[in-house]
Amino acid sequence: MAAFSNLTERINHVFAKLRNRGALTELEIKQAMREVRVALLEADVNFAVAKDFINKVSELAVGEEVLKSLTPGQQVIKIVNEQLVELLGSTQSKLGVSPKLPTVIMMCGLQGAGKTTMCGKLALYLQKQGKRVLLCADDIYRPAAIKQLEIVASKAKAGFFEMGQSNPTKIAQSAVAYAEKNGFDTVIVDTAGRLHINEELMNELKAIKKAVNVYETLLVVDAMTGQDAVNVAKTFDEQLDITGVIITKLDGDTRGGATLSIKAVTGKPIKFVGTGEKAEDLEPFHPDRMASRILGMGDVLTLIEKAQTAIDEEQAAKLAKKLKESNFDLNDYLEQFEQVANMGDLNDLVGMIPGASRLKLSDKKVDEAQIKRNKAIIQSMTKEERANPKILNYSRRKRIAKGCGLQVQDVNRLIKQFEQTCDMMKKMARSKRLPF
Amino acid sequence: MGFFKKIIEGLKKTKENIGFKLNRLFKRGIFDDDFYDELEFILLSADVGEETSVAVIEELRERMGKDRVSDPEKANQYLRNVLTDILGDEKFTVSTPCVILVSGVNGVGKTTTIGKLANIFVKQGKSVVIAAADTFRAAASEQLEVWANRAKVRVIMHEEGSDPAAVVFDALSSAKSRGTDVVLVDTAGRLHNKKNLMEELKKIDRVIDREFPEADRKNLIVLDATTGQNAIQQVEIFNEAIDVDGIVLTKLDGTAKGGVVLAIKHDMDVPVYFVGVGEGIDDLLEFDAASYVEGII
């Protein structure tokens, strides 16, 4: 059997067969569904969840509408996608604010899920929204966990509270009192990683929850979790009545089938996803995008959003005007490189492009170093040179190469690229189809 | 015995789930397609994965057919044999001096594993130095220092953000001049699809080869038993980068069974050397296939 590295390829393969057919028989749908089930299992969707899902989709797919349709394959894809979105949750959720401040958020989960890192990301996210956040070090077990949270807090410019290794309930209570006194409106409690079957430690969380009136209890789960995700999520939810889930490490190449399972067994919303090692790498969870990503339709919306926030509209308008007047210069070129750099990790962006996984595009790494080099070259030019690239003779190019620590050939290559870009843009400007 | 008891304890929950279903299946004594279908689902739910589950079933079908097995007890034993045969019984051995490079994705328990490994070597009467080459994660060195103190070994560390290869270089120099038996290298967690970070790991690997060619080399990857099929990609890509010798399977004290190691052994022939079964310093045990299988079925 051919090995498919992910659900996307798998389902694409299944439906490539379906697409080539006219009307489908019940038996054919059954066969296709078996392959979808296998694909879901390979993507770590829990086997019981996968079974339910397949039953539901089969029922809908065997309906008259699909069998009589001229494009049954597409109908089936539509149904699979719709059901996937439904399973993941239909709307995105935000964090609640307690009527009585401070809002206390408790983070919990297994060891190594990424709770402490996530505390920092959430703190940064909330502070950007104008909240004043206090991080409370309530992991008294793991060596240096307190120190780690302290560093995380200072990087996020959030408040930090610790009481060493005293009683976790007391620490949480004191943190809330400290927050009240010092004007923090949000307290994020970082708890120790624990196994869901460890009764003693689960009771500890219950005690904290009761003592400080926790408003949001968030379960932090590693996106790479396998079949056990349902046991973990179910137990945490039963014991603590969680209010939401955060999925971490989604920047890996896992398909994150666990996400589906957790939503299915707890019914609790997935609120955020962690997508990188940096403090800013936190995104709200969008069920539709997640489903699209799993099905290989790419995460187009996120891509567009990233581009929009990175590229200043005013700058874009200015650039459009310059193009029309044909005085696009190296300053503008540099600005473009900066905007591309602002969009974040280019390789992440490539992963969001529809079909990138199928085309094996995701294997091709975008050379971010090249962009950095290009920026360095332009930054080594004088104002005059940037505004009027025509004056760049050999001795100037040699000086520039020295200034940015590269070869003259590199400078030549950049200038050539720039000229080609100018030509292309002029053509596009004439045809009134701007590239953005 | 220690391994057996602990792993059975750790996998008790698993056994309750899976063992129950399996026993019911075997007791029926009818080994038809329904039986194998059900068995496949059981293996899948242990994270064994589709391909390996199918391979296990084919092998079992063949062996049982050949010997015309119909006795439930015997059939059960046949399944165990198929699984233990896949897992093998390769033991972890090193000659001193040796350098053990420990890597893996984020949050699998590398630092904890290093602490426990140090303890094992100290108990064997070997001298140990740890290189704190996770210079990325906040407070990683401090965490390692606590473990080093528990195991009573030396640790070489630089400040946060410094070059991990430089830390390794220093630890190697120190080990060479002092005649230390074992150098344990803790590395930052890295997702295998981050190219730059994998390059950094390769560099560490090269530095060890270059600076301490006379040392016995072992590269261990740490896998979280909770991880699903992605563990296969993890081993595949780490193996491409630095030649992985074996696996440390952590967090087996939960309800996850880490059945993906069967797939990894089956596909790539990378054996499991150790299992982590708790947070105490003695909770790292040498892997034993028979006990492990006993624990999951």
Look at residue A432 in the predicted model and tell me its pLDDT. Answer: 45
> Per-residue confidence at A433, pLDDT binned at 50, 70, 90?
very low
User: Which DSSP category does B291 fall into?
Assistant: H
Residue of chain B with shortest Cα separation from A251: B191
Higher pLDDT, A153 or A306: A153
Residue ending a domain, among B24, B55, B87, is B87
Number of H helices, E strands in chain B: 13, 8
Q: How large is the angle between the packed helices A287-295 and A300-310, nearest 10 degrees?
A: 120
Tell me the C-alpha distance between A81 and A291, whole Å. 7
- Flag whether B112 is in a domain: yes
Residue of chain A with shortest Cα separation from B192: A252
Unique residue bearing structure tokens 């770590």:
A44
Question: Does position A81 have pLDDT exceeding 80, yes or no?
Answer: no
Unique residue bearing structure tokens 């399977």:
B249
Contact status, residue B208 vs residue B168, Cβ threshold 8 Å = yes
Higher pLDDT, A17 or B269: B269
Burial B24-48 (b: 16+ CB within 10 A, else e): ebbeeeebeeebbeebbbbbbbbbb
Residues B264, B126 within the same domain? yes
Please compute Rg for chain B using Cα positions.
Answer: 21
Strand partners, B223: B249
Q: A310-430: which CATH architecture?
A: Orthogonal Bundle (1.10)
Look at residue A344 in the predicted model and tell me its pLDDT. Answer: 58
Tell me the C-alpha distance between A139 and A145, whole Å. 6
Contact status, residue A190 vs residue A159, Cβ threshold 8 Å = no
Please report, for chain A, the start and end positions of each structural domain, with discontinuous segments joined by +: 7-88, 103-297, 310-430
Query: φ, ψ for residue A268 (rounded to 5)?
Result: -90, 145
Task: Sort out which chain A residues have CB atoms less than 8 A from B255's CB and list them.
Answer: 195-197, 228, 231-232
Question: Does position A362 have pLDDT exceeding 50, yes or no?
Answer: no
DSSP notation for A151-210: HHHHHTT-EEE-BTBS-HHHHHHHHHHHHHHHT-SEEEEEEPP--TT-HHHHHHHHHHHH
Question: Average pLDDT of B269-280?
Answer: 94
Look at residue A9 in the predicted model and tell me its pLDDT. Answer: 58
The set of residues, in sequence order, having a beta carbon less than 8 Å from that of A413 and lying 6+ positions away, is none
**CB atoms B227 and A43 under 8 Å:** no
Question: Average pLDDT of B106-112?
Answer: 94
Residue ending a domain, among B62, B87, B112, is B87
Residue of chain B with shortest Cα separation from A254: B230
pTM exceeding 0.90: no
Question: Does position A347 have pLDDT exceeding 50, yes or no?
Answer: yes
Highest mean pLDDT among A248-252, A261-265, A364-368 belongs to: A261-265
**Domain of B71: which CATH number?**
1.20.120.140
- Flag whether B293 is in a domain: no
**CB atoms A231 and B255 under 8 Å:** yes
Residues B44, B115 within the same domain? no
Contact status, residue B286 vs residue B91, Cβ threshold 8 Å = yes
Question: Does position B68 have pLDDT exceeding 60, yes or no?
Answer: yes
Q: Give which of A192, A83, A77 is closest to A137, Cα–Cα.
A: A192
Residues B83, B118 within the same domain? no
* Cα–Cα distances in angstroms (integers) from residue A145 to residues A96, B72, B139, B166, B253, in the given order: 27, 50, 7, 25, 21
- Per-residue pLDDT of B148-158, as tens digits, reads 999 999 999 99
Look at residue A12 in the predicted model and tell me its pLDDT. Answer: 59
Question: Does position B49 have pLDDT exceeding 60, yes or no?
Answer: yes
Task: Sort out which chain A residues have CB atoms less than 8 A from B139's CB and list them.
Answer: 144-145, 147-148, 150-151
Residue ending a domain, among B87, B114, B138, is B87
Higher pLDDT, A302 or B32: B32
- Flag whether B106 is in a domain: yes
The minimal CB distance from A253 to the residues B106, B227, B233 is found for B233
Residues B160, B268 within the same domain? yes
Task: Sort out which chain A residues have CB atoms less than 8 A from B279's CB and list them.
Answer: 111, 141
Query: φ, ψ for residue A319 (rounded to 5)?
Result: -65, -40
**CB atoms B255 and A152 under 8 Å:** no
Residues B36, B153 within the same domain? no
- Per-residue pLDDT of A294-314, as tens digits, reads 665 544 445 555 555 555 556
Unique residue bearing structure tokens 């879901």:
A40
- Flag whether B295 is in a domain: no
Residues B15, B38 within the same domain? yes
Question: Average pLDDT of A219-244?
Answer: 94
- Per-residue pLDDT of A316-346, as tens digits, reads 666 666 666 667 788 888 877 777 666 655 5
The set of residues, in sequence order, having a beta carbon less than 8 Å from that of A315 and lying 6+ positions away, is A335, A339
Q: Retrieve residue B251's tokens.
A: 């967090």
Contact status, residue A35 vs residue A14, Cβ threshold 8 Å = yes
- Per-residue pLDDT of B192-202, as tens digits, reads 888 889 999 99
Residues B161, B204 within the same domain? yes
Query: φ, ψ for residue B262 (rounded to 5)?
Result: -65, -45
The set of residues, in sequence order, having a beta carbon less than 8 Å from that of B102 and lying 6+ positions away, is B110, B113, B114, B117, B184, B185, B186, B187, B220, B221, B222, B248
Residues B69, B180 within the same domain? no
User: Residue A229's Cα: distance from chain center in Å?
Assistant: 20
Q: Give which of B102, B156, B111 is closest to B138, Cα–Cα.
A: B111
**CB atoms A195 and B147 under 8 Å:** no
Q: Which fold has domain A103-297?
A: Rossmann fold (3.40.50)
Tell me the C-alpha distance between A15 and A6, whole Å. 15
- Flag whether B211 is in a domain: yes
Unique residue bearing structure tokens 């199928």:
A358
Tell me the C-alpha distance between B53 and B58, whole Å. 9
Percent of chain B surpassing pLDDT 90:
67
Higher pLDDT, A355 or A75: A75
The minimal CB distance from B50 to the residues A42, A151, A231 is found for A42
Q: Give which of B128, B120, B160 is closest to B143, Cα–Cα.
A: B160
Q: Retrieve residue A234's tokens.
A: 């179910």
> Per-residue confidence at A248, pLDDT binned at 50, 70, 90?
very high
Burial label, A173 (beta-carbon count in 10 A; 0-12, 13-18, 19+): middle
Is beta strand A282-284 parallel, antiparallel or unpaired with respect to A270-274?
antiparallel
Distance from CA of B9 to the nearest CA of A (A): 12
Look at residue A301 in the predicted model and tell me its pLDDT. Answer: 46
Tally of domains in chain B:
2
The minimal CB distance from A112 to the residues B192, B224, B257 is found for B224
- Flag whether B214 is in a domain: yes
**CB atoms A148 and B143 under 8 Å:** yes
DSSP notation for A295-361: HTS--HHHHHHHHHHHS-HHHHHHHHHHHHTT---HHHHHHHHHHHHHT--HHHHHHHSTTTTTTTG
- Flag whether B243 is in a domain: yes
- Per-residue pLDDT of A113-139, as tens digits, reads 999 999 999 999 999 999 999 999 999
Q: Retrieve residue A298's tokens.
A: 């790419």
Tell me the C-alpha distance between A183 and A191, whole Å. 23
Contact status, residue A390 vs residue A329, Cβ threshold 8 Å = no
Look at residue A257 in the predicted model and tell me its pLDDT. Answer: 85
**CB atoms B254 and A151 under 8 Å:** no
| Strand ranges, E, within A199-307 | 216-222, 244-248, 270-274, 282-284
- Per-residue pLDDT of A170-203, as tens digits, reads 999 999 999 999 999 999 999 999 999 899 999 9
Tell me the C-alpha distance between B267 and B226, whole Å. 20
Strand partners, A188: A105, A135
Residues B113, B241 within the same domain? yes
Look at residue A48 in the predicted model and tell me its pLDDT. Answer: 85
Contact status, residue A236 vs residue A219, Cβ threshold 8 Å = yes
Residues B123, B146 within the same domain? yes
Query: φ, ψ for residue B227 (rounded to 5)?
Result: -65, 140
Q: A7-88: which CATH architecture?
A: Up-down Bundle (1.20)
Residue of chain B with shortest Cα separation from A3: B51
Structural domain boundaries enclosing B65: 2-87
Residues B102, B82 within the same domain? no
Considering Cα of A361, then A363, then A366, then A367, what sign does the dihedral take? negative
- Flag whether B93 is in a domain: no
Q: What's the mean pLDDT when you consider all of chain B?
A: 89
Q: Retrieve residue A332's tokens.
A: 């503008």
Residues B70, B166 within the same domain? no
**CB atoms B254 and A253 under 8 Å:** no
Percent of chain A surpassing pLDDT 90:
39
The minimal CB distance from B106 to the residues A114, A148, A229 is found for A114
* Cα–Cα distances in angstroms (integers) from residue A315 to residues A311, A372, A382, A386, in the given order: 7, 21, 22, 18
**Domain of B247: which CATH number?**
3.40.50.300
